[in-house]
Copies of this chain bind each other. A is one copy, B any other.
Amino acid sequence: MSQQPSTPDPALTTLVGLAAFTELAAFGLLASRSVDAPDLPVRQTLATAAGDALGRQGRLLALVVGPGADGAAEAMAPFDGALTDFDARTTPSTWAEGLLKSVVGLGVAQDLCRELAAGLPDGGAGFAAAVGEPRTDDPATAVLAAAATADDVLSSRMALWGRRVVGEALGLVPVLLAAHAPLAALASHAREGEPDGGATVQAWLVSRLTAEHTRRMDRLGLAA
């Protein structure tokens, strides 16, 4: 029935579980902001972005399990609840905060998974093919950038909120690596291929994710 490789790498299975779970979370955040969007074009744009997250999730899961919700849930099960504390600490108080949370939270999660995938035997090529190139023009970013450009007060509030969300997201990284040995091993392998020798694996990883976050906030027109 299933079309996955008969013996997927256990580290790949764990990484796909994390990536699929965070894409499902992104789907929920984007869909929720579609439901209460200010107008029909934004509602449609964010629904489509939510659908894109599901599409990436499906391609990722196909690397390790057959089709259907049961296999998907089994692959994600080790990460069920992994975002509960993060969600409790980053409850948005406005629509724009909710949308920025989805952009920053999903962005950090995707960057983390891409960095870890570099520690796989194939250097992350299969993983990268499933998720596609990182998008620098995603629709949620465009919606937020337009809102921030038009309103200086919103822009500084959003910058503050972005720092809050990224702080909580980066705080999850050591928790995830400590709880899931295959992810820690991937981080170590990924680190081996990199030149900057001094830093610990975790410090190296967080500095990579922070640099990507700064670029993300630049695209949003917000101070990182």
Contact present for A35 and B31 (CB under 8 Å):
yes
Distance, CA A70 to CA B54, complexed state (A): 22
Interface-located stretch among A38-46, A111-119, A154-162? A38-46
The answer to whether B32 touches A48, judged by C-beta atoms less than 8 angstroms apart, is no
- Residue A76, interface by CB 8 Å: yes
Q: CA separation between A139 and B69, bound complex, in Å? A: 10
The answer to the question of A72 belonging to the interface, with a C-beta cut-off of 8 Å to chain B, is yes
B54 and A69 contact, CB distance less than 8 A:
no
In the complex, what residues of B have CB within 8 A of residue A166's CB? none
Give every chain B residue within 8 A of A183 (Cβ-Cβ): none
Question: Is the Cβ of A69 less than 8 Å from the Cβ of B45?
Answer: yes
Interface hits, A70-91 → B, CB 8 Å:
70, 72-73, 76-77, 80
A40 B76 Cβ-Cβ under 8 A: yes
| Cβ distance A201 to chain B, nearest Cβ, rounded Å | 29
A139 to B68 CA separation, bound complex (whole angstroms): 11
Q: Is A28 an interface residue (CB 8 A)?
A: yes
When distances are taken between beta carbons in the complex, the residues of chain B under 8 Å from A40 are 73, 76-77, 80
- What are some 27 contacts across the A-B interface (CB < 8 A)? A24-B43, A24-B44, A27-B34, A27-B47, A27-B50, A28-B31, A28-B34, A28-B35, A31-B31, A31-B50, A32-B35, A40-B73, A40-B76, A40-B77, A40-B80, A41-B73, A43-B73, A44-B69, A44-B72, A44-B76, A48-B54, A50-B50, A50-B54, A51-B51, A51-B54, A51-B55, A69-B139
Binding site for B on A (CB under 8 A): 24, 27-28, 31-32, 34-35, 39-41, 43-45, 47-48, 50-51, 54-55, 69-70, 72-73, 76-77, 80, 139
Q: Which 4 A-B pairs have the closest CB atoms?
A: A31-B31, A41-B73, A28-B35, A45-B69
